[in-house]
Amino acid sequence: MTQKLILLRHGESEWNAKNLFTGWVDVDINEKGVGEAEKAAELLKVEGLLPDVLHTSLLRRAIHTANITLDGCDRHWIPVKRSWRLNERHYGKLQGLNKTEIRDQFGEEQFMQWRRSYDVPPPAIDPDGEFSQHNDPRYADIPESERPLTECLKDVVARMLPYWTSDIVPDLQAGKTVMVAAHGNSLRALVKHLDGISDDEISGLNIPTGIPLYYELDENLSPVTRGGRYLDPDAAAASIEAVKNQGKK
Ligand SMILES: O=C(O)[C@H](O)COP(=O)(O)O
C-alpha cells in the first residue's frame, strides 16, 4: 500500500511581496496568498486528496494558509500538530532586509551562497535585535543554547528530520493522508531527504508558494515518482522561476 503526503508552502506573504528576507519573522500572507490557499483547496478537491491530519510550523503564514485550504475542502476539523522544527530557515542577520539591496551590496556570489548554499549560514542575528525571536515565548521549549540565531539548509535538515521520523512518519504508516504546511526552505530540506538530492544539487531546487506538491510514497517511504507532482504544474513552474529570481530586480 502506498502512502499519501501533501506538501504545501504558505501562500505569498506580505514580505515575499516586499522582497524581504523573512525567516522566523511572523508575517502573514497577503491577498494573493489567500487566493493561492483557496486555489489549493480546489486542487485537492478535484484530485480527491483530502488530508486526514495536518502538520504545520509555528508561523502564521503556514498556519493561516493551511486553515484556508482545509476550510475550502471541508477538512477544517482534522487533527493538527505544530512544531518549530517545520519553521522556515532562520535567516540570521538578513531577516528584515531587502533581497535586492543585499545582492547589490554583497554581490551575486555571496547573496546566492547565503540563500542557496547547503552549509554556509548568514551571519547570526543579534538576539535582542528588532527581528530576533530569541525571547518569543513560543520557542521557550527549545533550550536557549539550541535556539537558532541563524541557520543554513544543513541545520534545517538536522532539526526537521527528527520531527519527520517521530511525528509525520507514524501518521503516514497509519494510512493517513498527511498534509505538511510549511516554508520554502523547510520543504526544500524535506524534499532533499525524500528524493535523495545531493548537497550540491539542492541549491537548484525552489518551492513555489501555495501550490500543493503531492508525493505517493512506497512502503520504504521512497517516492513512487521522484520529485512528486505539483497539482497545478504550470502555475508551479512560473512561481518556481519567480522564487529563483528573487533579488534580481
Ligand atoms: O524567509 C524567506 O525570506 C523566504 O520565505 C524564503 O526565502 P528564500 O527563497 O530567499 O530562501
The grid coordinates listed for 115 are 540563500
The grid coordinates listed for 93 are 542577520
What residue owns the CA closest to ligand 1's atom 6?
184
Three-state DSSP class for residue 168: helix
Q: How confident is the model at residue 249 (pLDDT cuts 50, 70, 90)?
A: low
What residue owns the CA closest to ligand 1's atom 4?
22
Q: Which residues pair with 29 in a beta bridge?
A: 13
Q: Region 127-154: what's the mean pLDDT?
A: 96
Q: Ligand 1 center to residue 16 CA distance, Å?
A: 8
**Are the beta carbons of 170 and 198 closer than 8 angstroms?**
no
Q: Quickly tell me which residue has 512561481 as its cell.
A: 239
Cα 246 to its chain centre, rounded Å, is 16
The grid coordinates listed for 31 are 491577498
Q: Region 90-96: what's the mean pLDDT?
A: 98
Residue 196: the pLDDT is 98
Task: Find the DSSP H helices in the chain.
Answer: 14-17, 31-47, 60-72, 99-106, 108-116, 153-163, 169-173, 184-195, 233-244
Percent of the chain with pLDDT over 70: 100
Enter the pTM of the model.
0.97
pLDDT digits (tens, 9 = 90+) for 6-65: 999 999 999 999 999 999 999 999 999 999 999 999 999 999 999 999 999 999 999 999
Residue 1: the pLDDT is 85
Looking at this predicted complex, what is its ipTM? 0.96
Sheet containing 229-230, strands listed edge to edge, beginning at the edge strand earlier in sequence: 80-82, 53-56, 178-182, 3-9, 213-217, 229-230
Residue 200: the pLDDT is 97
Domains and CATH numbers, the chain: 3-244 (3.40.50.1240)
Whose CA is closest to 85, among 8, 173, 190?
A: 190
**Are the beta carbons of 180 and 4 closer than 8 angstroms?**
no
pLDDT digits (tens, 9 = 90+) for 98-126: 999 999 999 999 999 999 999 999 999 99
Q: Give Cβ neighbours of residue 123 (< 8 Å, ≥ 6 apart).
A: 92, 93, 94, 150
Closest atom, ligand 1, to C-alpha of 94? 3
Q: How far, in Å, CA of 205 to CA of 247, rounded?
A: 16
pLDDT digits (tens, 9 = 90+) for 169-203: 999 999 999 999 999 999 999 999 999 999 999 99
Three-state DSSP class for residue 30: coil
Q: At what angle do helices 31-47 and 60-72 cross, to 10 degrees?
A: 40
The grid coordinates listed for 40 are 489549493
The grid coordinates listed for 182 are 510549511
Residue 248: the pLDDT is 82
Report the chain's mean pLDDT, rounded to a whole number: 97
Q: How far, in Å, CA of 210 to CA of 60, rounded?
A: 14
Instruction: Mark whether 10 is an active-site residue.
Output: yes
Residue 78: the pLDDT is 98
The grid coordinates listed for 10 are 504558505
Instruction: Mark whether 88 is an active-site residue.
Output: yes
Q: Point out the catalytic residue in the list 36, 88, 151, 183.
A: 88
**Are the beta carbons of 191 and 205 closer than 8 angstroms?**
yes
Closest atom, ligand 1, to C-alpha of 99? 10
Closest atom, ligand 1, to C-alpha of 243? 9
Residue 247: the pLDDT is 87
